[in-house]
Amino acid sequence: MLLEISRDVYQLTLPLPFRLREVHAYLIKGREGYGLIDCGINTQECFEALEKSILEAGIQLTDVRSVFMTHYHSDHCGLAGRIKEVSGASLIMQSGEAEAVEAFLEISPEQVHNPCFYIERGLPAEKFEEMQQIFPYLKSLISPLKIDERIEDGVEIWLGDLRFEAIWTPGHTPGHVCLYQPERKWLFCGDHVLIKITPHVGLNSRSTLANPLAHYLDSLKKVIKLDVKLAFPSHGPLIRQFKERAQELMVHHNQRKEAILHILGKERKSAYEISTALFGIRSTHFENWMAFAETLAHLALLASEDKLEEIRENGHVLYRIR
């Protein structure tokens, strides 16, 4: 589905095969070629939807000359390799994020995660095996790619005829980047700030951030300082009250921390016990995986704040309030 935001910016809504259902990409007009912010997942349905939307905008896929990816998750970079094959577009991503996605594509699905990391934190071994079944599928959702341009915080990026400032916002992923358009005071915020759901911030065995939620909250404080009239998220509606929504997300995580402390009480519990008390058992392996990773991120933050301690005992990790 194509939505014209302005005379030179279009929102492309692309289908996803999981609960989120849709992801937005943004097409930016240029006299010497178009730019694309994010690009959808590597499925034929998503590729056809992307092509159709671009045709509705009055151009061909071959007119896309650059693809900027806010981060390495498959719904944001999955089709980049296929687009480059068709149009020769330059692929742009934060440097550490580029290394992460290229490394991910090189290893086998069985090597993606270290089972010991999860099992010692309470996840039953059979649950890890169940979750591991989704890894080959998740890997297939990113087409093979090589990043052409690796960027860092604060650099200037041109997409189409619009100039952006790259704003590094680690948390959702270590190298997540938002793009700020200063003249229009627009922020293309990827998965950093969403209006209907809270962005996933998780800790797992591949995490390069030991305390991702602390980074995420710092990144929220960073973007709150920007003068944002309109924000363009990757999921859900445009955000017109951006600072207010960012502040709501900070409140949410404080409430989640309090809920975890309440669950612990005077007991010692594993991360898996806390996760199931907090989220229950979800309907899919993927959702259970996400819930467990989010719980681990909150526990890491609470430990860093000296509100709980991590106890290693007989090959297991338990948590208790200090």
290 touches 199 (CB < 8 A):
no
CA atoms within 13 A on the CB side of 221: 6
Look at residue 111 in the predicted model and tell me its pLDDT.
Answer: 85
Give CA–CA dist 290/19, Å, rounded: 12
Give CA–CA dist 49/15, Å, rounded: 7
Give CA–CA dist 292/139, Å, rounded: 20
User: What's the token pair of residue 80?
Assistant: 């980049």
Domain boundaries, the chain: 2-255
pTM of the model: 0.96
Q: What is the pLDDT along the chain (322 residues), one digit of tens a residue?
A: 899 999 999 999 999 998 889 999 999 999 999 999 999 999 999 999 999 999 999 999 999 999 999 999 999 999 999 999 999 999 999 999 999 999 999 988 788 899 999 999 999 999 898 888 888 998 999 999 999 999 999 999 999 999 999 999 999 999 999 999 999 999 999 999 999 899 999 999 999 999 999 999 999 999 999 999 999 999 999 999 999 999 999 999 999 999 999 999 999 999 999 999 999 988 788 888 899 999 999 999 999 999 999 999 888 999 999 8
What lies within 8 Å, CB to CB, of 212 at 6+ separation is 170, 171, 174, 201, 202, 203, 297, 300
Look at residue 149 in the predicted model and tell me its pLDDT.
Answer: 98
Of 51, 100, 108, 96, nearest to 73 by C-alpha is 100
Burial class (CB in 10 A: 0-12, 13-18, 19+), 262: exposed
CA angle 297, 303, 309 (to 5 degrees): 125
User: What's the token pair of residue 216?
Assistant: 């995420």
What topology does CATH give the domain 2-255? Metallo-beta-lactamase; Chain A (3.60.15)
Q: Tell me, what DSSP letter sits at residue 220?
A: H
37 touches 80 (CB < 8 A):
no
